[in-house]
């Protein structure tokens, strides 16, 4: 096994692992329960980590994570006036769908 990276939180670590698995790389989250030990241990030692099973897939995994981290999040103004950010295609205030571009 090979440690690929630390994640800022468990949600991100889980998303990254799911992304890698979807691309055929066997990955797992480690240190997922150490957050409660922060204070007793240095905080940077309590962050969740992404590990891969096959070290020969390291470059492919790093490339995939780089793509995922660079993916731009959409930001759009709904006709109801709400600013919708992130990957949402539906307004959380009124339920209208994001207008199509082009």
Give the tens place of pLDDT for each residue, 29-78.
998 876 665 667 777 778 999 999 999 999 999 999 998 888 677 788 99
Specify the number of domains making up the chain.
2
Tell me: the pLDDT tens digits for 56-69? 999 999 999 998 88
Residues 60 and 17 in one domain: yes
Residues 58 and 98 in one domain: no
What's the rounded Cα separation, in Å, for the pair 7 and 27? 13
Residues 22 and 60 in one domain: yes
The reported pTM is 0.66
Residues 12 and 62 in one domain: yes
- Full domain range(s) for residue 56: 2-70
Residues 17 and 63 in one domain: yes
């Amino acid at each position: 096994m090979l440690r690929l990276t630390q994640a800022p939180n468990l949600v991100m670590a889980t998303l990254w692992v799911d992304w890698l698995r979807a691309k055929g790389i066997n990955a797992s989250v480690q240190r997922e329960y150490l957050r409660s030990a922060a204070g007793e241990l240095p905080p940077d030692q309590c962050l969740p980590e992404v590990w891969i099973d096959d070290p020969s897939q390291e470059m492919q995994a790093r490339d995939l994570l780089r793509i995922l981290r660079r993916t731009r999040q959409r930001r759009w103004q709904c006709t109801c006036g709400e600013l919708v950010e992130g990957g949402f295609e539906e307004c959380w205030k009124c339920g209208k769908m994001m207008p199509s571009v082009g």
